[in-house]
Amino acid sequence: MESVLKTKRKIRFQDCDPFNHLNNSKYLEYFINTREDQIAEHYDLDIFKYLRTTGLSWVVASNQISYIRPAFTMETVLIESQLIQYSDNFLLVEMKMWNENETELKAILWIKFIQYNVQTKKAATHSDELMQLFQSVVLPVNESIFENRYFEIIQKLKASMSA
């Protein structure tokens, strides 16, 4: 199974500010919507069907995002995502937004999800089946602090551009 999932999206006019840049708050929508589509397509995990059948879902516990370059109105971007860490009740997903050719990084996001039981309104434990899925696709990163990971990625990009 693939660990790094990639999807192209077009930046829409209504999501942009007067400078024709994707509005800061809209980055999160593009990232989350794309991740939902990716896990349904690649892992056969429809989170809405899962909620209906189990009473469990995931809620966003935290976001850390760095905006690097603007995404522009009607630009096609490539959004990639990967699970970088998990436990029995949380997921940490790293997402990047690139230009269409993956030559210009636009944003990096870490998003932490907690599995949640909608009946009890409390955190829940992932099933053995989910834990097996996570184990098969996790792609850990060296850094456990977002800012350090950001600098690691930027340094790698600079090195590859000067090579």
pLDDT at 162: 81
C-alpha–C-alpha distance, residues 158 and 163, integer Å = 9
pLDDT at 66: 97
Per-residue confidence in pLDDT tens, the chain, 163 aa:
899 999 999 999 999 999 999 999 999 999 999 999 999 999 999 999 999 999 999 999 999 999 999 999 999 999 999 999 999 999 999 999 999 999 999 999 999 999 999 999 999 999 999 999 999 999 999 999 999 999 999 999 999 888 7
Cα distances from 91 to residues 20, 58, 88, in angstroms, run: 33, 9, 9
Find the CATH number of the domain harbouring 157: 3.10.129.10
Between helices 47-54 and 24-43, what is the axis angle to 10°?
70
Say if CB 54 and CB 125 are below 8 A apart. no
Give the domain range for residue 21. 5-162
Q: How many domains does the chain have?
A: 1
pLDDT at 14: 97
The pTM of the full predicted model, rounded to 2 decimals, is 0.96
